[in-house]
Structure 1
Amino acid sequence: MALDSFQVDWNTDVLQSFFQDSTERQVVPDSPTKHFFSWHERSFRGRRRHIGDRFKYLFFSSLNLPDEEEWMFERPMGKGSFGAVALFSKINERQERTDAFVLKVTEANPEQFVPAQSKKSHLTHEAAIMAQTNELDSDVLVRLRQYRVDQNYCRYYTEFCEFGTLESLRLRYKAWNKYFPELFLWHVFHCLAKGYLDFVRARWRSLRNLDFGEQVDGQYLLHNDIKTENIFLATNPSRDEDTVWYPKPKIGDFGLATTTNAGEINRNHAKAMQAGTPCWQPPEQRISQMNDYRHYYFHEDVHPDLKRTVGLDRRFHRIRQEANIWAIGAVMWNLVTLDEIEVLSDKVNRILSGGTAAARAFDGKNIMKRPDPVIEQRYSPKLWDLVCECLRMKPGDRPPPSRLLSEIEIGMRDCMEREQAEYQRTGDLAPLLVAFEQNQINDLPDGGANFRKNLDFWSYFAEHLLWTPRQWGPLCPPDAPRHMNFEADGLPSPLRRRQEHEWEEALKQRDRKRTAQDAGEPLPINQSPTQSEAVQNQENPRRFSNASDREQQPRKRTRFA
């Protein structure tokens, strides 16, 4: 099966063999890749997991593609409880990347396979769902290019989004004490709302045994893990030569997604729908927090046939498709405030549990109300109000997808008109730009926002540094501590020492830059000018003239293009 011709056989798949002898693909002796093979960590239950086996499998297994010899293992990209991820690329004779895909491997868990008529199925829920998202031909959903399975691992060949995750970009902006431009926030909001509208409009096939593969009226998708870590930044197809655009956000990682409908009373209720990262869950899934019988907000979503039997039990309300909207609102809140998601999560839990000041002040609808003064001063009320509407407690109070998308497009257009007027007044495009390419943010000064950043934040930031391509060079925020903890999650000692060495080099580069700036000297060799210096005297930004233009960043001629 050729890459990009992925289709699902709705009966079953077949086992395949991928493992190569280690002599067929050799690790370069000084390559850090081999050190990933010895990675161990503890799960949240205290069990020892050999993450290294997954990376070893990624490196040594064959791709089983017709043009196998043209693909090269480029680098590991991440790991988690799901498995491990690596980048594979095609490189031409000029050492330019001509194509790439991300290979995610997860351990073959029988619970993840869909039912089938045969004795054993080899098609996972994730592959079956992504086959259907592929059919939507959406430009805001990560595409599955291939799927295969063997005895031990499931393999997902997915679209490569070259600018990383929204979470990595958020961490960098917080580390640099910088807020995002409002126009960029509207752009992200617009893409996420388009993705949700795709979810709503699709006709989803059932993954149950009785009606497997059939399109069921009223069937809808619950992603169950929408968060900044699972939103990927891809090249905007509207990008022209010598023009910088905002990257295209795409919703990915459908490993916890499921399809359901209101009639599945034995399956579609909160007790059975306990999936996802707890701090990103919508209120209706947080049944462990619903301890006060006086504070229950979801009784309207209990199926009539269950009300007579469950009584005061708070675990049997239906999880509606608006759970996706709450997660989108949480992502936008995270980007607007740059607070950690636990701040929002803790407030939700205090309201749900009752007996707290937050519960007593809750009006029954709006979890978030007025923003902090700095947010109120920086961003338009319309942006904040729409985010808060997505974060309302009851699913029925959240905005329907079509109206949400329409309101976002109005807000984006109004924001663009304000920014155009401001550019006409100042001639400066720098406030609109986003440093999303490589380590471009290294060239920016501290933004002055003075965000609170504790040791946990810097440990999390250090963890993300591990997956930054080495050719991008060192990355060092202006106020980052000189000592960084690279010992999290059982990182193998050779990789830890490499990270510590690279951090020392980053600190030296930061010190040299500060010394040169204090002395009024030119920037060190190979040090790029800041964006504000690079965009002086540039042409006017374009107005949004059609739907595709609404997702564009205004034109500028720049060395970063």
Structure 2
Amino acid sequence: MGKLGEDDCSSLPQEHTWLGGVQIGEGGFGTIHCWLKVDQNQNVIDRMVIKDPHCSDDTKEPPAYRGIYEELVRKGMDFGINPDRPGHATIDERFFREAYLQGLMTDNSRPFSAATVSLRGFKKGHLDNITSKLDGSQKLKTHWRIYMDLLHAGDLKNLIERHIAGKNGRKDPIPEPYIWCVFTCIAEALVQLESAVQARPNARQQQDEVIALMDMKPPNILLQDKRGDRYPVYPKPLLSDLGAAHVLYKEDPLQNRDVRGHYFHGATSGFFAPEMWKDTNYGWERGIDKPVYSWTNIWQAGRTIECMMRLRVKLDHEKYSLVCDDNSRIKEDPPRIEGFPEFRYSDDLIDLVWRCQRFEPEQRPTPTQLLELIRSRAPKHNRGMDEWGNATWIEKREAASSQPKTYSEVLVSSASSNLDFLDGYPPDLAKRYRQLNVSLPMGWDLAFYGYKDPARLNTRARIPPRKPEDPYAGVKW
């Protein structure tokens, strides 16, 4: 292979120039860089994020994933094959679990219905000798590249941290309507994690397969700044980082730690469900002898929502080294925000978070049941924020603008004047909203609506200096 940046550039459309190499993330998974596609005047016409993980897994496709690669080829997501002969790459050389699962969840025909971060494509690189950060040992691992849209707005962890900092040095509780918004989006994603894998070609229907995420947490839920019709003033959360996810069923041999090739429990401390194994100072431990399944996704969803309610980026168990060994205590100890003695989230929300974190997996709702429960309860607590600011709402306000304001509308107009959410609106809708001169209801605005777009489309590209020590810095520019 040639140089990574040059080789990758050759598999992308060539009518314009891709500028790359700006590092925007790093972790145990590898590195993440941002690339910009510019025209002859250096104006941005497209953006892309490239993730560079190294993986020691076999590149031969396992039976559990049979049928997914053909879907990825049909969607044009394998950037390493000849585009004139799609599907002629050898499957034995193409399997990368993270790309398979992310691509399976991607439906580019319905962009606003996305529940996970969409995959543009993936590509296999060469073997690299990678040094372990734990013991200094070296091991050959395959270098992969995953191509995705740029989501610049940040993640749920950033949002929680901004509410912890608050205004005037005082914590600000996250508005309950936004928590229902996030809960709804997560539940919809969990339903799709079941339906997508069970509807794929060659699915093992009799085993009732699911995609177990393993590592759902606030940093792995990215914020999309584009506004849709539902909860339009709030950034939409999308599940990301399927690197720890697996296709499993209840009686799957991979559930057994004594079986060669068993799956890796890639959770973070504080997010280990009772049924998940954790390597602790005392050996391998778990809270209950049950398989990892959809109910594990449900548990981590409840834990993530509880983090939002308590303004914590993670919640440790009673003993930091152990997995969860009890139900959530959110009913006995409901979230309290310093400086807001009278503040309390609704019993409906608290009860649902508690249900998701039941110790016994069978006592948790299924993804479909969770979504139905959310949809039945959320309208009582949304206060209209699920529609506030969408196109229909703006039209109704425009039609009534000549009428005298009601008392409630006068109160609304004196509330928060924060209009940061309009950055994600289509320009025409943003202009019409501003002309209405209507502010968000008191207490329903966020402290953080996402970071500003660093490379807006149709603006001149500004590329910061490349880090010279970064081995995956992309193309020359």
TM range (shorter): 0.5 to 0.7
- CA distance in structure 1 between the aligned counterparts of 2:233 and 2:414, rounded to whole angstroms: 13
- The structural deviation recorded for 1:178 is 2.0
What are the within-5 Å matches in structure 2 for residues 81-100 of structure 1? 81-91=28-38, 97-100=44-47
Alignment partner of 1:187 is 2:160: no
Separation in 1, partners of 2:379, 2:415? 19
Change (3 A) 1:321 1:244: closer
1:334–1:119 distance in 2 versus 1, CA, 3 Å: closer
Q: Distance in 2 between matches of 1:429 and 1:92?
A: 45
The C-alpha deviation readout for 1:249-307, integer Å capped at 9, x for no partner, is 1111111111011232x312467442232332212114557989xx98634x3xxxxxx
The residue aligned with 2:370 is 404
Code of the residue aligned with 1:284 in structure 2: it is E
Is the contact made by 1:367 and 1:391 (CA closer than 8 Å) also made in structure 2? Answer: no
Question: How many angstroms apart in 2 are the aligned matches of 1:199 and 1:350?
Answer: 24
Identify which of 330, 338, 348 aligns with 2:311.
338
Report what 1:67 is aligned to: 14
- Give the Cα separation in 1 of the matches to 2:45 and 2:343: 44
Offset at residue 191 of structure 1 (A): 0.4
Question: Of the candidates 226, 231, 236, which is equivalent to residue 216 of structure 2?
Answer: 226
Relative to the length of structure 2, the TM-score reads 0.63
1:67 is paired with a residue of what secondary structure?
coil
Alignment match of 1:427 (pick from 388, 403, 412): 412
- Alpha-carbon shift at residue 86 of structure 1 (Å): 1.0
* C-alpha distance in 1 between matches for 2:414 and 2:15: 45
* Match in the other structure for 2:25: 78
Structure 2 residue matching 1:404: 3-state secondary structure: helix
Identity, in percent, stands at: 22
Q: Which has the higher contact order (CA 8 A, sep 6+)?
A: 2
CA distance in 2, matches of 1:78, 1:437: 26
Structure 2 residue 116 is matched with structure 1 residue 141: yes
Q: Is the 8 A contact 2:16 2:38 kept in 1?
A: no
Q: Which is strand-richer, 1 or 2?
A: 2
List per-residue Cα deviations over 1:312-356 (Å, max 9, x = no partner).
Answer: xxxxxx21221011111111111111124143574793863xxxx
Per-residue deviation, 1:184: 1.1
SS of the residue 1:417 aligns to: coil
Match of 1:172 in 2: 162
Greater helix percent: which structure? 1
2:302 to 329, 347, 350: 329
Query: Structure 1 residue 80: deviation in Å?
Result: 0.9
Amino acid at match of 1:132: L
Equivalent residues of 1:169, 1:436 under 8 A apart: no
> Are residues 372 and 167 of structure 1, via their aligned partners in 2, closer, same or farther at CA, if it must alter by over 3 Å?
closer
Distance in 1 between residues matched to 2:469 and 2:454, nearest whole Å: 15
Q: Read off the aligned partner of 1:298 and give its amino acid letter.
A: I
Which residue of structure 2 lines up, in the alignment, with residue 197 of structure 1? 191
State the shift of 1:468 in Å: 8.9
Q: Secondary structure at the match of 2:46?
A: strand
CA contact (8 A) 2:155 2:221 kept: yes
- 2:353 corresponds to which letter in structure 1? V
Between the aligned partners of 1:110 and 1:350, the Cα distance in structure 2 is 26
Computed over aligned residues only, the root mean square deviation of the Cα atoms, in angstroms, reads: 4.2
- 2:229 aligned with 1:261: no
Measured after TM superposition, the shift of residue 84 of structure 1 is: 0.7
Structure 1 residue 405: Cα displacement? 1.1
Which piece of structure 1 moves more, 128-137 or 114-123?
A: 114-123
1:175 Cα deviation from its structure 2 partner: 2.3
Aligned residue-pair number: 359
**Stretches of structure 1 lacking an aligned partner (at least 5 in a row):** 1-16, 20-56, 207-212, 302-317, 353-361, 439-446, 448-466, 473-491, 496-561
Closer/same/farther in 2, CA of residues 350 and 146 from structure 1, 3 Å limit: closer
Q: Which residue of 2 aligns with 1:298?
A: 288
- Residues of 2 paired with 1:394 and 1:68: CA distance? 56
Matched, 1:154 2:172: no
Q: What does residue range 357-436 of structure 1 map to in structure 2 within 5 Å?
A: 365-370=327-332, 371-374=334-337, 377-417=343-383, 424=409, 426-428=411-413, 430=415
CA drift of 1:189 comes to: 0.8
Structure 2 portions without partners, runs of 5+: 67-89, 128-142, 389-405, 424-442, 444-450, 457-466, 471-477
Query: For residues 85 and 263 of structure 1, do their structure 2 counterparts lie closer, same or farther at Cα, with a shift above 3 Å needed?
Result: same
Determine if contact 1:147/1:156 at 8 Å carries over to the other structure.
yes
Give yes or no for contact 1:163–1:437 (8 Å, CA) kept in 2: no
Give 3-state SS (helix, strand or coil) of 2:255's partner. Answer: coil
1:403 to partner: Cα distance: 2.3
Once residues 29 and 60 of structure 2 are traced to their aligned partners in structure 1, the CA distance between those partners, rounded to angstroms, is 15
Q: Based on CA coordinates, which of the two structures has the bigger radius of gyration? A: 1
Cα distance between partner residues in 1 of 2:362 and 2:374: 19
Question: Are residues 172 and 344 of structure 1, via their aligned partners in 2, closer, same or farther at CA, if it must alter by over 3 Å?
Answer: farther
SS in 2 for 1:72: strand
Residue number in structure 2 paired with 1:275: 266
- State how far apart, in whole Å, the 2-side matches of 1:322 and 1:184 are: 24
| 1:122 matched residue in structure 2 | 94
In structure 2, the CA distance between the partners of 1:494 and 1:64, relative to structure 1 (3 Å rule), is closer
**Greater Cα offset, 62-71 or 394-403:** 62-71
- Cα distance in structure 2, aligned partners of 1:367 and 1:289: 23
Kept in 2, the 8 Å contact 1:280–1:345? The answer is: no
**Are the counterparts in 2 of residues 219 and 260 from structure 1 also a CA contact under 8 Å?**
yes
Deviations 1:35-82 (A, max 9, x none): xxxxxxxxxxxxxxxxxxxxxx56995352122643222732101111
SS of residue matched to 2:214? coil
TM-score (norm 1): 0.55
Distance 1:326 1:96 in 2: 45
What are the within-5 Å matches in structure 2 for residues 410-489 of structure 1?
410-417=376-383, 424=409, 426-428=411-413, 430=415
Equivalent residue for 2:56? 109
Deviations 1:509-555 (A, max 9, x none): xxxxxxxxxxxxxxxxxxxxxxxxxxxxxxxxxxxxxxxxxxxxxxx
Looking at structure 2, the residues matched to 230 and 284 of structure 1 have their Cα atoms a distance apart, in angstroms, of 21
